[in-house]
Amino acid sequence: MILDTLPTGPLEVNCYIIGCEKTRKAAVIDPGGDADKILDRLEQQELDLVTIINTHGHFDHIGGNRQLQEATGSELLIHRDDRSLLGSAEEHAAAYGLRVESSPSPTRELDGKEILSVGELSLQVIHTPGHSPGGICLYVDDCLLVGDTLFAGSIGRTDLPGGDHQLLISGIKEKLLVLPEATRVYPGHGPMTTIGQEKLHNPFLS
């Protein structure tokens, strides 16, 4: 599996490129912006983008959706409970004095129980609401891409519309911390961590 990280957009969201080494098919997770940079990286890796996946609909994670989809014809996936956020991204960004490009509507809505195929890779979708109603994580091989659900030493904020602190905590404990402790965790912001590290040291999960 190919796993590449690029900071993108006005808040430097961690955008992830996941590629199948055999088929060269790829998914882009959370393109926060800077679509040209993402497209260049795909070309360098000789990867064919077939799927764009948003872990949730907040403006800083979706700014590259339109340009990537128009350039590649790839499908765009988001959980059904965050679909409405795509249409208000420009307004939300403006409230912070920022600008992002509007996102097209998803080509498919997720319910949080799918297994997505990217070449010969299988990505398990895990619904983890709390940071937003439709927040998801993606589990592939020994890697977990968590969006803004979980961070190294922290958790996603829950004071935004649709946030729910208790729901977020329960989802992390019941759905993520049960994974193998060696599972590598790739958050939407900041450094990589592991499930074992967060079980031991994350103050929000003790």
For residue 149, the domain's CATH number is: 3.60.15.10
Q: What is the pLDDT of residue 90?
A: 87
Q: What is the pLDDT of residue 88?
A: 87
| pLDDT single digits (tens) 39-55 | 999 999 999 999 999 99
Structural domain containing residue 123: 2-201
Q: What is the pLDDT of residue 175?
A: 98
3-class SS letters over 44-74: HCCCEEEEEECCCCCHHHCCCHHHHHHHHCC
Mean of the pLDDT values across residues 88-111? 91
Domain count along the chain:
1
pLDDT of 114 > 90? The answer is yes
Q: Establish if 108 belongs to a structural domain.
A: yes
Q: Establish if 6 belongs to a structural domain.
A: yes
pTM: 0.96
At what angle are helices 65-72 and 35-44 packed, to 10 degrees? 40
Instruction: Report helix, strand or coil for 62.
Output: coil
Q: Establish if 206 belongs to a structural domain.
A: no
Rounded to the nearest integer, the mean pLDDT of the chain is 96
Q: What is the pLDDT of residue 102?
A: 87
Contact 138, 53 (CB under 8 A): yes
Distance between CA atoms of residues 59 and 86, nearest Å: 7
The neighbouring-strand residues paired with 150 are 155
Q: Establish if 131 belongs to a structural domain.
A: yes
Q: Establish if 45 belongs to a structural domain.
A: yes
Q: Who has greater pLDDT, 121 or 94?
A: 121
Band of the pLDDT at 34, cuts 50, 70, 90? very high
Q: What is the pLDDT of residue 92?
A: 87
Q: Establish if 149 belongs to a structural domain.
A: yes
Q: Establish if 87 belongs to a structural domain.
A: yes
DSSP code string of 186-203: EESSS--EEHHHHHHH-T
Distance between CA atoms of residues 177 and 197, nearest Å: 10
CB atoms within 10 A of CB 18: 26
| pLDDT single digits (tens) 133-154 | 999 999 999 999 999 999 999 9
Q: Establish if 38 belongs to a structural domain.
A: yes
